[in-house]
């Protein structure tokens, strides 16, 4: 078994969803996983107008380089169904294999913002991770039938996808290869929190059913320990 949950996970394009109640703590855990990825990462936050972040939120720090961080409203991540449908109509007469046509159409359906990010990712070496925080905020715009093709299109483009979900999990989480649930409250109490692996690809990260306290998670604990001491200031 790998030494940590994301070791061996992002060595190939894959998808992961982190579900939990604390948006701020979800962001820290996602950052710890993405920052350890040798292929790098880019971060998109789905932000609402006038929203005030938790005082301990990662996104109030300078941990994420500005050229890797993008703030977008939910509408910027709408699918472009017209582009995909037009592509299917044109390519259906090309004689290309069905899988090729479907893959190209799925990519064109991706939001323009996501297409631009994918085009900027390195094409050589380990896959980069595309992080989307507050993913629950676009659930009203998607049916889960369309979420699966979106995930596949990102993976075909050579990137991994890591989504944070701060609402009650839905069946759509099963569109992801790795499904993790974060138990615990605020960032200040992170030592009492744990990650539960609901779903995992065999041989990649901790196996399905594992529960690991964040303080014992090799890639997560050092990041949180250096940035999120308890409110009392004692470790």
**Domain CATH code at residue 168:** 3.40.50
3-state helix, strand, coil in the chain (%, to 5): 40, 20, 40
Rg (CA), the chain: 18
* Residues of the domain holding 192: 15-50+127-227
Q: What is the mean pLDDT of each run of 10 residues along the chain (235 residues)?
A: 56 93 94 91 89 86 93 79 50 50 65 85 84 86 73 88 90 90 88 94 88 91 83 42
Q: Which two tokens stand for residue 156?
A: 């075909």
**What is the spatial distance between Cα 173 and Cα 148, in angstroms, rounded to a whole number?**
10
| Three-state DSSP string of 1-59 | CCCCCCCCCCCCCCEEEEEECCHHHHHHHHHHHHHCCCCCEEEEEECCCCCCCCCCCHH
117-142 b/e (C-beta count within 10 Å ≥ 16 → b): bbeebeeeeebbbbbbbbbbbbeeee
Distance of CA 27 to the CA centre of its chain: 10
Instruction: Quote the number of domains for the chain.
Output: 1
- Considering the domain boundaries, does residue 135 fall inside one? yes
- Considering the domain boundaries, does residue 77 fall inside one? no
- Considering the domain boundaries, does residue 104 fall inside one? no
Beta strand extents in the chain (DSSP E only): 15-20, 41-46, 69-72, 129-133, 160-165, 178-183, 194-199, 211-213
- Considering the domain boundaries, does residue 97 fall inside one? no
- Considering the domain boundaries, does residue 79 fall inside one? no
- Considering the domain boundaries, does residue 86 fall inside one? no
Distance of CA 16 to CAs 97, 161, 217, Å? 29, 6, 17
pLDDT given at position 99: 58
Provide the β-strand partners of residue 157: none
For residue range 119-178, list pLDDT tens digits in order.
Answer: 888 777 888 999 999 988 887 766 666 677 788 888 988 999 999 999 888 888 888 999
- For 70, the 3-state DSSP assignment is strand
Q: Identify the sign of the CA torsion 169, 213, 22, 158.
A: negative
Sheet holding 178-183, edge to edge: 69-72, 41-46, 129-133, 160-165, 15-20, 178-183, 194-199, 211-213
- Considering the domain boundaries, does residue 160 fall inside one? yes
pLDDT given at position 167: 87
Q: Identify the sign of the CA torsion 188, 193, 198, 201.
A: positive
pLDDT given at position 6: 53
- Considering the domain boundaries, does residue 109 fall inside one? no
């Amino acid at each position: 078994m790998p030494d940590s949950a994301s070791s061996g996970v992002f060595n190939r394009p894959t998808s992961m969803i982190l579900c939990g109640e604390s948006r701020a703590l979800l962001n820290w855990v996602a950052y710890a996983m993405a920052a350890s990825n040798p292929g790098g990462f880019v971060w998109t936050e789905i932000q609402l107008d006038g929203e005030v972040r938790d005082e301990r939120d990662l996104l109030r720090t300078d941990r994420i380089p500005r050229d890797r961080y993008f703030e977008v409203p939910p509408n910027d991540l709408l699918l472009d169904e017209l582009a995909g449908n037009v592509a299917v109509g044109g390519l259906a007469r090309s004689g290309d294999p069905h899988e090729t046509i479907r893959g190209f159409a799925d990519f064109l359906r991706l939001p323009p913002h996501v297409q631009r990010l994918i085009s900027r990712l390195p094409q050589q070496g380990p896959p980069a991770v595309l992080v989307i925080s507050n993913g629950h905020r676009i659930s009203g715009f998607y049916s889960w039938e369309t979420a699966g093709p979106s995930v596949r299109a990102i993976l075909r483009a050579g990137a991994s996808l890591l989504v944070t979900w701060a609402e009650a999990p839905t069946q759509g989480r099963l569109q992801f290869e790795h499904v993790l649930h974060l138990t615990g409250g605020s960032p200040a109490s992170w030592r009492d929190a744990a990650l539960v692996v609901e779903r995992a690809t065999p041989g990649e990260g901790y196996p399905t059913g594992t529960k690991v306290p964040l303080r014992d998670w090799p890639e997560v604990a050092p990041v949180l320990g250096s940035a999120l001491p308890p409110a009392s200031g004692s470790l």
